[in-house]
Chain A
Amino acid sequence: AIVEADLLAAKPALDEAEAALSAITAKDIGMLKSLKKPPELIKRLFDCVLILFQEPLIPCEVEEVKRLQLCVSWDRASVVMSRASFLDELFNFNKDAINDETIEMLYPYDSAEDFTYGDAKKASGNVAGLCTWVKSMILYTWISKEVKPKIAK
């Protein structure tokens, strides 16, 4: 019964992630690609998508953009979001294949004060749903890490 309760705890987060993804349209992505200067927060958000997709990133370097932060791999993000299948890839993402190392690499992004749906929404509208998605992937992995071993027993 404890195991079921834990799994149920993940359900609202996953529902929320799905709803957030549904709000993103191909048009939103197209708009984002056309921006000469995309908001910094959105670039960081896309680094998180690259990490979850296990796509290449530039090596860690820091830059000062209002705050000291990791340089973002925006060129690579542009390639990934240009794929016709990009939104489908998000929807069909295999969340059970996420490992602890991936979550660890998301930490410098997720721990930033402005890494919230509200801030992302202000910066870029619907695409902010990606923030909800990233956060729910982190929560899901954490819960399933706690829950899966119990199921195995």
Chain B
Amino acid sequence: MTSCKEAIKDIEIDGKVAAEMEEVRLCPISNMKPLIVKMDNALSTLKKCRQLRMSSNAIAKIEGLAGCDSLVILSLARNNLKKIEGLNEISDSLEQLWLSYNQIGSFAGIEKLTNLQVLYASNNKIDKWPEVERLQGLPKLRELNLVNNPLYQKHDAEGNWRIEVIKRLEKLKNLDGSLIDDEERERAKAD
């Protein structure tokens, strides 16, 4: 496995300093190095980082983000995450959370991300409406992707997926990559 410290060192090429970078991508497999399995305290040195990209690793838990005070976009797609946790320290700045292709079955804890605008969580394990309803606690949420969660598969097959989501999340602008139009909104209201 590659530690965060090693992965950070590997991006410090041509005299660049990770602590000064606004975009940090820690994807060791793209350099043919083993995956990151743990978010460790080396991440706390990324003070200026606005976009932290750690997708395509094998991380089981969100942690180690204290000190990442500038973080706006956190990308953890394709890892082994089960829970929304470890985000308290960055809840003021975080606007986008990318979590597709994990094993998340509950959005418990997401309510704290009061500035969240974009949530990508396709191919997870969301299977109940109360989990979608938790997102009502996010006043700024405008874009959501839940493609290929069990709940999506069930209701997409029944043909009522979009309407059922729009009914619950009235302020949403974009669902699964497509803008929500007036007609859908009307149908959700009438339903």
Binding site for B on A (CB under 8 A): 54-57, 59-62, 67-70, 94, 96-102, 104-105, 107-108, 111-112
Contact = CB atoms under 8 A, between A and B. Distances in A.
A67 B32 contact: yes
Contacts of B75: 101, 104
Interface in B145-191: 145, 147-148, 176-178
Contact of B55 (A101, A111, A112): A101
A98 B25 contact: no
Contacts of A67: 32
A54 B30 CA distance: 21
Interface residues of B, number: 30
Interface of B: 25, 27, 29-30, 32-35, 53, 55-58, 75, 77-80, 98, 100-101, 120, 122-123, 145, 147-148, 176-178
Given A97-B178, A105-B78, A57 B123 contact: yes
Nearest to B33: A68
A64 to B, nearest CB: 9
B147 A108 contact: no
A97 B177 contact: yes
Contact of B58 (A57, A60, A105): A60
A104 B123 contact: no
A47 to B, nearest CB: 11
B17 to A, nearest CB: 22
B77 to A, nearest CB: 5
B56 A70 contact: yes
Contacts of A107: 25, 27, 30, 55-56
Nearest to A98: B177
A56 B34 CA distance: 22
A55 to B, nearest CB: 7
